[in-house]
């Protein structure tokens, strides 16, 4: 893993605007940057030019040092849970934009069908299945579906989560609400990790699992959200345990932290105080912004890990492993063509071509697991608070509580 894999961008209106050059999202971000620089200089053109030059240089420096590591290109096969809306759907769209094959799921068949259609359908390389991740049978069926459709699974993103459904002290939570939150966030993550590890251990290049964290992961108090915070607090420990269990197997376990993301789950609570809405405008981001920053970094981690594992097994077992890897890759591309023609894939599941692999004789494999990719860091939070005057009504109308659309209009939750 590159030493820069844990370095995060500084997504303030200024630094993130300049770093947007790397992500090909410059127009809106740079306009916001110029406006901020002019305002900071008191409207003086010469001073504004100096401020703009200095801040662009700073932003470009962040863009360079936070650039994802380079690895041999390949088409990844990605499974994302909870991917029919919000961050999950934005992640799916970004992986598809990179040419990857994607499988998605959610508890609602209608939501899955709608999201698949919105993402471009089979022709775009996306497919979906209804799945309640808290039910073992559903999870087993989901992974069987994804392996059959894509020929294997290189990346699993455990994004499904029951968020702040009940904003209340613990004693006011119903037993059903507690069971639902813990079932989705804890049991669901464990079941998906189990299935993913079983699948990836049988693949020549292994695979990588990314668990999405949330409030509570950093061990801070989450008053009125105690159940949710408790369900997320165990993720760092889970990563450490699974990294140790899967050392030298080619299966990487990671955590990804998207920070505060503007979604219906965040804004769907009535009567939010104005102070909370102001915090959202300062610290939060739209799902598409987070996904555009995060996916290149997750892909870089996975690509480096897959390549290293493949090379280690090639060196250890010779042409047998090489043939298996090529067969799996050819199967995916052939299946993509079949989906493009509207025909169900019939290629062989790559994980059935080889038996479960033993430990790899590759010290570097131990460094290809256990990464923690963070979108929002303490340093970037300080930058954002320093620029709070420009954050008013950036994402949420602080008077009405309605999210602000990209075109600047207020839209009710669920209409986005």
CA distances (Å), 377 to each of 5, 139, 325, in order? 14, 33, 38
- Assess contact for 80 and 102: CB atoms under 8 A: yes
Q: Nearest CA to 122 among 101, 95, 108?
A: 101
From the candidates 33, 164, 225, 228, which is the catalytic residue?
A: 228
Three-class SS string for the chain? CCCCCCCCCCCCCCHHHHHCCCCCCHHHHHHHHHHHHHHHCCCCHHHHHHHHHHHHHHHHHHHHHCCCCCCCCCCCEEEECCCCCHHHHHHHHHHHHCCCEEEEEECCHHHHHHHHHHHCHHHHCEEEEECCCCCHHHHHHHHHHHHHHHCCCCEEEECCCCCCCCCCCHHHCCHHHHHHHHHHHHHHHHHHHHHHHHHHCCCCCCEEEEEECCCCCCCCCCCCCHHHHHHHHCHHHHHHHHHHHCCCCCEEEEEEECCCECCHHHHCCCCCCHHHHHHHHHHCECHHHHHHHHHHHHHHHHHHHHHHHHHHHHHHHCHHHHHHHHHHHHHHHHHHHHHHCCCCCCCCCHHHCCCCCCCCCCHHHHHCCCCEEECCCHHHHHHHHHCHHHCCCCCECCCCCCEECCCCCECCCCCC
Q: 270 Cβ partners below 8 Å, 6+ apart?
A: none
Measured between alpha carbons, how far is 294 from 286 in angstroms, rounded to an integer? Answer: 12
As a whole number of angstroms, the distance between CA 188 and CA 142 comes to: 12
To the query of whether residue 228 is one of the catalytic residues in this protein, the response is yes
CB 71 within 8 A of CB 310: no
Nearest-angstrom CA–CA distance, 325 and 327: 5
Q: How far lies 181's CA from each of 33, 193, 229, in Å?
A: 40, 18, 10
- The residues that are catalytic are 228
């Amino acid at each position: 893993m590159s030493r820069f894999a844990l370095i995060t961008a500084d997504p303030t209106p200024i630094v993130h605007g300049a770093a947007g050059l790397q992500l090909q999202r410059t127009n809106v971000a740079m306009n916001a940057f110029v406006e901020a620089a002019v305002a900071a200089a008191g409207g003086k053109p010469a001073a504004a030019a100096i401020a703009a030059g200095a801040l662009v240089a700073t932003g470009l420096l962040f863009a360079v040092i936070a650039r994802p590591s380079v690895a041999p290109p390949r088409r990844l096969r990605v499974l994302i849970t909870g991917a029919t809306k919000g961050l999950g759907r934005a992640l799916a769209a970004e992986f598809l934009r990179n040419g990857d094959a994607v499988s998605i799921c959610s508890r609602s068949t209608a939501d899955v069908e709608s999201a698949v259609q919105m993402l471009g359908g089979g022709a775009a390389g996306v497919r979906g299945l209804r799945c309640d991740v808290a039910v073992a049978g559903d999870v087993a069926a989901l992974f069987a579906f994804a392996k059959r459709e894509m020929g294997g699974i290189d990346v699993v993103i455990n994004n499904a989560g029951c968020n702040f459904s009940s904003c209340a002290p613990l004693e006011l939570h119903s037993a059903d609400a507690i069971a639902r939150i813990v079932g989705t966030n804890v049991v669901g993550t464990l079941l998906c990790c189990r299935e993913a590890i079983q699948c990836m251990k049988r693949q020549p290049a292994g695979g990588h699992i990314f668990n999405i964290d949330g409030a509570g992961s950093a061990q801070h108090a989450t008053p009125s959200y105690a159940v949710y915070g408790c369900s997320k607090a165990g993720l760092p420990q889970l990563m450490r345990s699974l990294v140790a269990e899967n050392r030298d197997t080619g299966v990487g376990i990671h955590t990804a932290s998207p920070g505060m993301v503007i979604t219906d789950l965040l804004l769907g609570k009535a009567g939010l105080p104005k102070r909370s809405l102001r915090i959202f405008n300062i610290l939060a981001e739209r799902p598409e912004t987070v996904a555009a920053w995060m996916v290149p970094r997750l892909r870089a981690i996975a690509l480096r890990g897959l390549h290293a594992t493949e090379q280690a097994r090639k060196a250890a077992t010779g042409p047998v492993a090489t043939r298996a890897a090529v067969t799996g890759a050819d199967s995916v591309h052939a299946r993509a063509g079949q989906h493009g023609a509207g025909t169900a894939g019939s290629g062989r599941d790559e994980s059935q071509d080889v038996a479960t692999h033993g430990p790899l004789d590759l010290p570097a494999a131990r460094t290809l697991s256990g990464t923690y990719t963070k979108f929002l860091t303490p340093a970037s939070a300080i930058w954002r608070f320093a620029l709070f005057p420009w954050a008013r009504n950036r994402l949420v109308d602080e008077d009405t509580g309605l999210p602000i659309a990209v075109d600047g209009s207020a839209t009710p939750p669920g209409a986005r």
